[in-house]
Amino acid sequence: MKIIELGASVTASNDRDAEALRARLKAQGILLVNVMSAAGSGKTTLLSRIIRDMDDLRFAVLEADIASDVDAKAIEALGAKAVQVHTGGMCHMDAGMTAAAFDALETTNIDIAFLENVGNLICPAEYDTGASLKLMILSVPEGDDKPLKYPLMFAESDILVISKTDALPYFNFDVAKCTARAKKLNPAIKVFPVSAKTGDGMAALEAELHKAQCAL
């Protein structure tokens, strides 16, 4: 009797698709950033702020959601290119879906493309989308214990944005403790506490994105 390990084969083919997309984007000079967080952590708000602040760069946003197009509309209102992907109930984006979203954009005049992944801290961590940079957001109201509960997401990410720091006075969130927990899982992770509302900490994060785009 034959046993087919479909899970493994799907993952291997996704990894091949991801490598191909990464090579294609590098040749086109496009930095793809996979933006992951729980629902409501502030992905769209953060990306909107970055697009407004870094007005010398050309941005596109691939918005992945189970339904609706509210985030894509918010991004388009800023003058950036946006495409909405409905994942058909899937809780993550894979490399094939990401490549299809790029095709739907119908332009390569882009310096930085953000993939706003489906809002959860579990499935998106498991799939390579072809991005060169993985950025996760943990917001202050979610609590500083999340690295203990969702270790893979913290282990996989290059950048941890601690968002909504303007809310720190109202929550029991210890930035140093959270940073230490994240670094224990991933010593190379870069941590940026920011408030997209007040702009606090945004300059350091934007400088990091600029550096990554130039290093492509």
Ligand X SMILES: Nc1nc2c(ncn2[C@@H]2O[C@H](COP(=O)(O)OP(=O)(O)O)[C@@H](O)[C@H]2O)c(=O)[nH]1
- Check residue 71 for interaction with Mg ion (CB under 5 A): yes
b/e map 17-33, b = 16+ CB within 10 Å: bbeebbeebeeeebbbb
Judged by beta carbon, residue 182 or residue 196, the one nearer ligand X is: 196
Choose the contact partner of 122 out of ligand X, Mg ion, none; CB within 5 to 8 A by kind: none
Q: Give me the least distance between CB of 215 and ligand X, in Å please.
A: 27
Stretch that binds Mg ion, among 69-77, 151-159, 170-178, 197-205 (CB under 5 A): 69-77
Judged by beta carbon, residue 43 or residue 92, the one nearer ligand X is: 43
- In 87-140, the DSSP E strands lie at 112-116, 133-139
Judged by beta carbon, residue 184 or residue 197, the one nearer ligand X is: 197
Q: Give me the least distance between CB of 71 and Mg ion, in Å please.
A: 4
199: left (phi over 0), alpha (psi -120 to 50) or beta: left
Q: Give me the least distance between CB of 176 and Mg ion, in Å please.
A: 28
Question: Using alpha carbons only, how large is the chain's radius of gyration in Å?
Answer: 17
**Using CA atoms, how far apart are residues 185 and 171, in angstroms rounded to an integer?**
24
For residue 103, with 0-12 CB atoms within 10 Å meaning exposed, 13-18 middle and 19 or more buried, which class applies?
exposed
Nearest to 59 by CA among 23, 113, 14: 113
Q: Give the residue carrying structure tokens 């984007």.
A: 25
Choose the contact partner of 144 out of ligand X, Mg ion, none; CB within 5 to 8 A by kind: none
Judged by beta carbon, residue 119 or residue 124, the one nearer ligand X is: 119
Which residues in this chain contact ligand X in the complex, by CB under 6 A?
Answer: 37, 39-45, 119, 163-164, 166-167, 195-197
Judged by beta carbon, residue 112 or residue 121, the one nearer ligand X is: 121
- Check residue 43 for interaction with Mg ion (CB under 5 A): yes
